[in-house]
Structure 1
Amino acid sequence: MDCLHCKPTFLHSVHLLAIFAEASNCKEVHGWNATLLYAALYISALGDGCMRACMPSLGADQFDHEDPSESHQQSSFFNWYTFGISFGGFIGLILIVWLQNDKGWDIGFGVCSILILLGLLVFALVLPFYRNQIPEGSPLTRILQVLVVAFRKRSLELPEKLEEAQERSAEPDFIEVLPETNSLKFLDKAGINRGKDGAWSLCGTTKVEETKIVLRVLPLFISSMIGYVSNPILFTFTVQQGGITNTRLGKIRVPPAVLFIIPTIFQMVMLPIYDQFLVPFLRKRTGYASGITHLQRVGIGFASIILASVIAAVVERKRKEAAVQMSLFWLTPQFFLLGVSDVTSFPGLLEFFNSEAPRGMKSIAAALFWGVLGLSSLLATFLVQIVNRVTRHGRRGGWLEAASLNNSRLDLFYWVVAVVGLLAFLNYLYWAKRYVYRHDPRIVTNQLSVNQDSL
């Protein structure tokens, strides 16, 4: 699946601890084979990280956010970008999994390699037609310079006409001209001219404002990271539940992993409908170019994750109390809600970070988004360990340390996950309500309507 840039929550779910490990006939890998395996995994992770950090930024660069006719197309791009990821995940779940199970892992990996090569060739053929933004130095270095210079000048008082002092900076603001804002004023001290030039002694307005933008989105980054903790947990344990349910559909035995197809198909159906019908409908009523704001869209996704956790807890309780084996398809509602989350919060967060980032920090914006997903999986692992440690009493293991799910307290753990998600959601609402967008999307919509009327 990974070869097709599959949906990240699927990939992240396999990184959680194998709580209920079963015996396996696989032979242990030693020596050169183990070295080759781990090298391949690390190289794959490196390539995947580079691609994910750059692809959204490259796609967004093809649209000029200052051009009203292209601004709303950028929002549409992120919906179709998410659709492409879902389509790749669907192919991986159907074709690649079948090849690996029936033809062998070598055939499956071989097909993945061929698909990657074909994708690289197609990308190389159309590369000359792309708008390619030339990088202008390291954005992380610029942020560090502002923080260091502002700290060194922390005892100084801000002059009344700081703009004049900044205009004498020896460093030109060549990335993107950003106006001075009144937030995080302590960083403005980095622009106080004390007679010394150089990037580590004096910072221009644009560099300071870039740093402010990154710091302003950090609370939303952290709250989103916590809000996504439920996703890898639900994906992982729901499949574990599916293994001990009735998986028959008539005379056909359905593998539990088929549940992954539910949110994937839902995304593939809903994303075009959302982009082509729902967004234009909402745009006429709200005045926003994307129908609703990015943070509103993300909030809908986080609310659906909480509801999925609650349903998962109730279903697991009923499963353990049922006199007969519960059908696998009782687990579909929570997967459906996870699909709702990925239609809303996934492209919403991606577009939010990208649209708020200045021109010289688009790659950081994409990295922040993928960082939310990656760190949420890591936090999910910690949450499992913490719950097991807290609920462990003497010889009695923790809630998730039983020999099978039937002897575990997965239902109670789901309630813990729901509470964590609710607290994260309330924290998210606090910061989202106070966040001020760099560009008001309603202005873009009004300009677009004027331009369309003049044609």
Structure 2
Amino acid sequence: MATTELPLNGNNKPPGHHLNVPDEEASNTCVISQKQGGWTTFPFVTVTLMGLTIAASGWNTNLTVYLIERFNIKNIEAAQISNIVNGSSNFFPIVGAIIADSFLGNFIVVSASSFISLLGLVLLTLTASLQSLRPQLCNKGLLETCETPSQFQFAILYSAITLVALGMGGTRFTIATMGADQFEKAKDQGTFFNWYFFTLYLASVIGIIAIVYVEDNVGWGLGFGLCLAINTVGLVVFLMGKRYYRHIKPRGSPFTNLARVVVATIRKKKVLSVSSESKDYYHGDISAETKLAVQAPTSSFRFLNRAALTNEAQDGPPTESWSLCTVQQVEDFKSLIRIFPLWSTSIFLSTPLAIQSSLLVLQSLRMDRHLGPHVNIPAGTFIVFVLLSTAISLSVMDRYLFPIWQKLARRPLRPLQRIGIGHVLNIAGMALSALIESRRLHKVRSHNLTHQPNSIVPMSAFWLVPPLAVVGVGEAFHFPGQVALYYQEFPVSLRSTATAMISLVIAVGYYLSTALIDLIQRVTGWLPNNINEGRIDNVFWLLVVIGCTNFVYYITCAMLYKYKNVPNPGQKSATINNGSSS
């Protein structure tokens, strides 16, 4: 498993440590029972994560096949719906993180989201179990003669999908932040993140293999029913651990402070010169011991420093308002501006992955999926090879690659370097996918199967595995690298939001993939409903071009970016010093 770098700055202060709060005072803001937090909570959090992930991967991975086979939805349209669902389920974590950081806390958000997904799975199980909630099956698989779902059937289906996507999104990364909040030291938090990723991938593999197999070979009702039961177990276990959790109280919306910086800067736009003296800026309530340590705002984005300029003519001490911010609030806003270009480069890193995963199901449906004479691998299961490749790569990198790099380079592999390697491997995976699809289409033409939409091409679907393995290795580099970068560089007040930023990237990637597929359908003939008449290989070559262009953009942003915090795994985290325990 990859070692997640955690943030601390060069002065041995936690990230986002407010210079205006003395260490003694900060340490007293959170009184923690010896029975709360620590490794005692680890089994509860881990079992919850595993249960919710198995349930989510069980229904989500095979959704495209379910829509095609049970709701008579056309191939490309089903793939588009699946992309929108994946985009939504990856967008909701950022909403959940904002709510957790600002208002309700992580425990309530995870509990409520788990219950919402439970309700969605009840509806989804009913659509698979009751004939009245779905249309009649197609005759001979010809979609042109199939019965379309009624408005009522669509309403139940989309209600179920909305609820399960909302529930999955509200737990995925919020539970990661909650788990990390149970530990004081960054080293323990890093260990937890390693186990978090390992559990996430292991549970996904179990759901994709076991649940999807039951859905395809035993029955959709039983498969979704298993998801429902496992989700229930995860929720119950999570609630059982309530008395042991360390509950960090939300401190109000951090986005209010960010908005205050913008408003205060605009109000002081007539200020032509910005001072470089610390005494001219507002640092909040500071003690006599801390007063000598405060510094003026940094020189980058200097115009924003106006927001913290004090008015010498005012009566009495300054206070925070929409005309005056603290230096720390200004610096937090600057850190978001600095990291935004890097974050944007990851959008077109996720878009090709979303398109590949949706087209993968359509490709494998038209290929020989037999493993031996009796076992037929479900089409939705092939995505598991990405997860297996990622999980194996994480272990190998942690055990061999990173120590070797540390020894040769005499410094750890930084997050930006990991992400860059992920970009390159992602491009290579798309190129390999294009070559495999070209070979599949050659088989289609040589056997005169072009106009037979339901025919199985005499080519093993395991040819799809090599590009998936390459993409999986790339994900082992860029996914933990992005989480480490955001966790390290974001303001501490946006801790949950930071860990959810990767999810937001994936969400935007899925939405863009839907728009890009729609554009390709309108402009070209590469994606007809019968993929044997199309040119999916050209789609992958287009993704290679997009990936190369995006990589140049990434290199430019990475060269201009400077790390704000220097990792020091032995130091205590800022989480304790910036929250209160209930």
Bucket of the pairwise TM-score, normalised by the shorter protein: 0.7 to 0.9
- SS of the residue 2:383 aligns to: helix
Give me the whole-angstrom Cα distance separating, in 2, the residues matched to 1:60 and 1:108.
Answer: 32
Residue of structure 2 aligned with 1:39, choices 136, 139, 159:
159
Q: Which residue of 1 aligns with 2:536?
A: 410
- Relative distance call for 1:9 and 1:122 in structure 2 (3 A) is closer
Structure 1 residue 3 displacement after superposition:
5.3
Structure 1 residue 311 corresponds to structure 2 residue 432: yes
* Structure ranking higher on relative contact order (CA contacts 8 Å, 6+ apart): 2
**1:230 Cα deviation from its structure 2 partner:** 0.6
Query: Cα 1:108–1:308, aligned 2, differ >3 Å: closer, same or farther?
Result: same
Report the Cα distance in structure 1 between the residues aligned to 2:286 and 2:218, rounded to whole angstroms: 60
How is 1:295-306 mapped onto 2 (pairs within 5 angstroms)?
Answer: 295-306=416-427
1:400 aligns with 2:524: no
In structure 2, distance between residues paired with 1:283 and 1:242: 41
Alignment counterpart, residue 83 of structure 1, candidates 170, 175, 198: 198
Aligned-pair CA distance for 1:302: 1.7
Equivalent residue letter for 1:328: A
8 Å Cα contact 2:277-2:296 kept in structure 1: no
Change (3 A) 1:224 1:262: same
1:19 aligns to what?
76
* Corresponding position of 2:491: 358
Output the CA distance in 1 between the equivalents of 2:165 and 2:218.
25
Please state whether the residue corresponding to 1:347 is helix, strand or coil.
Answer: helix
* Backbone CA RMSD of aligned residues: 3.4
- In the other structure, the counterpart of 1:395 is none
Distance in 1 (CA, whole Å) between partners of 2:166 and 2:75 is 24
User: Could you tell me which residue of structure 2 aligns to residue 183 of structure 1?
Assistant: 300
| Structure 1 residues 277 and 12: CA distance shift in structure 2, 3 A | farther
Deviations 1:369-424 (A, max 9, x none): 11100000111111112223333xxxxxx2213x4222112111211111001111
Q: Determine whether 1:55 maps to 2:175.
A: yes
Deviation at 1:270, TM superposition (A): 2.9
Q: Deviations over 1:207-230 (max 9, x none)?
A: 111111111111111111112111
Structure 1 segment 91-240 matched on structure 2, within 5 A? 91-167=206-282, 180-194=297-311, 195=314, 197-240=319-362
Does the 8 Å CA contact 2:62/2:212 hold for their aligned counterparts?
no
For residues 17 and 214 of structure 1, the distance between their equivalents in structure 2, rounded to whole angstroms, comes to 42
What amino acid does structure 2 have at the position aligned with 1:425? F
| 8 Å Cα contact 1:13-1:377 kept in structure 2 | no
Change (3 A) 1:352 1:5: farther
Q: Is the 8 A contact 1:13 1:235 kept in 2?
A: no
Structure 1 residue 168, shift from structure 2 partner: 6.8
Q: Provide the C-alpha distance between the structure 2 equivalents of 1:8 and 1:39, rounded to a whole number of angstroms.
A: 14
Tell me: CA distance 1:8–1:425, structure 2 relative to 1, closer, same or farther (3 Å): farther
Q: 1:198 to 1:76 in 2, by over 3 A?
A: closer
| Alignment counterpart, residue 436 of structure 1, candidates 562, 569, 574 | 562
Q: Sort the Cα spacing of 1:178 and 1:23 in 2 relative to 1 into closer, same or farther, 3 A.
A: farther
The aligned residue for residue 546 of structure 2 is 420
Aligned position for 2:49:
none
2: CA distance, partners of 1:121 / 1:189: 51
In structure 2, the residue matched to 1:28 is 149
4+ residue segments displaced more than 6 Å: 11-17, 170-173, 445-448
Task: Please state if 1:389 is matched with 2:522.
Answer: yes
Equivalent AA in structure 2 for residue 365 of structure 1? A
8 A contact 2:527–2:534 mirrored in 1: yes
Aligned to 2:398: 275
Could you tell me how far 1:184 is from its partner in structure 2? 1.4
Report what 1:292 is aligned to. Answer: 413
Indicate yes or no: 2:452 matched with 1:332. no
Count residues in correspondence: 428
SS at match of 1:229: helix
TM-score in terms of structure 1 length: 0.83
State the distance in 2 between where 1:331 and 1:198 align: 58
TM-score by length of 2: 0.66
Q: What do the CA deviations read for 1:245-274 (whole angstroms, capped 9, x no partner)?
A: 233334133333332221222233332333
Q: Is the 8 A contact 1:2 1:11 kept in 2?
A: no
Distance 1:124 1:20, change over 3 A: closer
Unaligned runs of 5+ in 2: 1-51, 68-72, 79-140, 448-457, 573-582
Distance 1:299 1:5, change over 3 A: farther
Match of 2:23 in 1: none
Which shifted more, 382-391 or 99-108?
Answer: 99-108
How far is 1:110 from its partner? 2.8
Aligned-residue offset at 1:134:
2.4
Q: Structure 1 residues 277 and 130 mapped into 2: Cα distance closer, same or farther (>3 Å)?
A: farther
Q: 1:331 Cα shift?
A: 1.3
AA aligned to 1:437 is Y
Overall identity of the aligned pairs, in %: 29
Q: Is the 8 A contact 1:287 1:445 kept in 2?
A: no
What amino acid is the match of 2:307?
A
The 8 Å contact of residues 179 and 192 in structure 2, kept in 1 or not, is answered as yes
Which residue pairs with 1:246 in the alignment? 368
Q: After TM superposition, give the deviation of residue 39 of structure 1 in Å.
A: 3.4
Match of 1:349 in 2: 482
Deviates more, 1:403-412 or 1:117-126: 117-126
CA shift, 1:309, in A, is 0.8
The residue identity in structure 2 corresponding to 1:45 is: A
Written as runs of structure 1 = structure 2, the 5 A alignment for 1:54-73 is: 54-64=174-184, 70-73=185-188
- SS of structure 2 residue aligned to 1:160: coil
Cα 1:179/1:338, change in 2 over 3 Å:
farther
In 1, are the aligned partners of 2:282 and 2:309 still within 8 Å (CA)? no
CA distance 1:197–1:439, shift in 2 (3 Å) = closer
